[in-house]
A and B are shown apart, each in its own frame.
Chain A
Amino acid sequence: MANPIGNLNKVFESRIRLGIMSSLMVNAELSFNDLKQTLEVSDGNLATHLVNLEENGYIKVHKGFIGRKTNTTYSITKAGEKAFKEHVEALENMIKGMK
């Protein structure tokens, strides 16, 4: 029998990382500021979690410019999308199993 908890992704245990992924699932790309405002977190905190997700290959970073100002945007990768969906599914299955 499959262990439902085995499908939970350790990376998404953090509420902020889960928030980043949720936001990127429904937006083609978001800037650092967009994410900061949605999740209501500090710059440093958000940056750390973004690096973590990037290292896991779940998000892509695009460095661009608006005029002279740097504009960094983030988008979800195929692998990220898959991992996120599996995680949500695992959560849902756990609830179903408890009924």
Chain B
Amino acid sequence: MNEQRQQIESTLHDIKSMMERSSRFISLSGWSGVAAGVCALVGAWFANREIQLFLHENYPANDLERGKYIFRHGSAALFNQLFLIAIIVLIAALISAFFFTFLRSKKTGTPLWGNTAKRLSINMAIPLIVGGLFIMQMLKLEYYVLIPPACLIFYGLALVNASKYTLGEVRYLGYGQLILGVINIWLPEYGLYFWAAGFGVLHIVYGLVMWYRYEK
């Protein structure tokens, strides 16, 4: 009787896992997260250098108050420069994330561009494209101070939305980005730090956890 029960339970478990496997993209590699996080931190370092350079040229060296309010006092030229850095970071992060996930999909023998990958991409892309348009217009209207929290919030929403189509842990990464983004709304002068914490540190932590759980 007990043996039969175990058998049925394992069948039900199989059914559930096959439903999951067929509807979620599971080749996402932890290293993709780590690589994206490293790209973001390198980008933040360059962004910080630009900001320091700008402050050095425009304000006396000891005027720390100004530095704090860089998002209010920075020039359009500075922010266009920062925007360029952000775009380069995005491209570098996407390429490296793609690379590690490609390696993993080779290893597990699943196709990179299947049914599940398509669904994941579409659901990730909707909040990201809308967010991208929103942020581009903010840049044009010079609402710089809200750009870092907007990046974090739209990205967080994209992750929460996409988590239904890939490894469930992505949802927690999304929550993390959303929390940072929301706090950042009320602490706007620390935008770059929040941005680095969300896109850099959280990605690296998430990536290492995922690697430890699934790939080690």
Contacts and interface: CB of A to CB of B under 8 A. Distances in A.
Interface stretch (A43-51, A61-69, A87-95): A87-95
A95 B1 CA distance: 10
B9 interface: yes
Contacts of B18: 18-19, 22-23, 38-39
Interface residues of A, number: 23
Interface string B15-27: 1101101110000
A91 B115 contact: no
Interface in B107-144: 109-111, 114-115
A39 B16 CA distance: 13
Contacts of A35: 22
Contact of B5 (A26, A27, A88, A95): A95
Interface in B4-48: 4-5, 8-9, 11-12, 14-16, 18-19, 21-23
Interface of A: 15, 18-19, 22-23, 25-27, 30-31, 33-35, 37-40, 88, 91-92, 94-95, 98
Given A92-B12, A95-B9, 20 more contacts: A18-B11, A18-B14, A18-B18, A22-B14, A22-B15, A23-B18, A25-B19, A26-B23, A27-B22, A27-B115, A30-B115, A35-B22, A37-B109, A40-B109, A91-B11, A94-B5, A95-B12, A98-B1, A98-B4, A98-B5
29 contacts: A15-B14, A18-B14, A19-B14, A22-B18, A22-B19, A22-B22, A23-B18, A23-B19, A23-B22, A25-B19, A26-B22, A27-B22, A30-B115, A31-B115, A33-B111, A34-B22, A34-B114, A34-B115, A37-B109, A37-B111, A37-B114, A38-B22, A40-B109, A88-B12, A94-B4, A95-B5, A95-B8, A98-B4, A98-B5
